[in-house]
Amino acid sequence: MTNSEETRVLFTGKFLEVKKQGRWEYVHRNSASGAAVIVAITDERQIILVEQYRIPVGQRVIELPAGLVGDDAGGKGEANATAARRELLEETGFAARELTQVAHGPPSAGLASEIVTFFVARGLTREHDGGGDEHEQITVHLVPIAEADAWLTSQERERGVLVDPKVYAGLYFATRG
Task: Give the model confidence (pLDDT) of 66-82 as tens digits.
Answer: 999 987 755 678 899 99
Alpha-helical runs (H) found in 43-94: 80-92
23-50 pLDDT tens trace: 999 999 988 889 999 999 999 999 999 9
- Strand, helix or coil for residue 107: coil
> pLDDT value at position 2?
56
* Within a domain: 136: yes
**What are the C-alpha distances in Å from 70 to residues 13, 44, 135?**
17, 32, 18
Confidence of residue 51 (pLDDT cuts 50, 70, 90): very high
What are the E-state strand segments in 106-144? 116-126, 139-144
* Within a domain: 25: no
> pLDDT value at position 1?
47
Whether 134 is catalytic: yes
Share the mean pLDDT of the chain: 93
- All residues at 6 or more sequence positions from 97 whose CB lies less than 8 Å from its CB, including other chains: 122, 123, 124, 125
Structural domain containing residue 74:
35-102+115-174
Q: What's the pTM?
A: 0.92
> pLDDT value at position 158?
97
* Within a domain: 150: yes
* Within a domain: 5: no
How many C-beta neighbours within 10 Å does residue 75 have? 16
Mean pLDDT of 54-59: 96
| Active-site residue (options: 6, 44, 134, 158) | 134
Domains contained in the chain, number: 1
How far apart (Å, rounded) are the C-alpha atoms in residues 76 and 17? 18
> pLDDT value at position 104?
96
How far apart (Å, rounded) are the C-alpha atoms in residues 15 and 113? 13
* Within a domain: 161: yes
CATH number at residue 89: 3.90.79.10
* Within a domain: 147: yes
79-133 pLDDT tens trace: 999 999 999 999 999 999 999 999 999 999 999 999 999 999 999 999 999 887 8
Percent of the chain with pLDDT over 90: 83
* Within a domain: 29: no
- Strand, helix or coil for residue 83: helix
* Within a domain: 58: yes
- All residues at 6 or more sequence positions from 46 whose CB lies less than 8 Å from its CB, including other chains: 142, 143, 144, 145
> pLDDT value at position 23?
93
DSSP letters of 6-35?
Answer: PEEEEEE-SSEEEEEETTEEEEEESS-SEE
Q: Is it the case that residue 166 has pLDDT exceeding 50?
A: yes
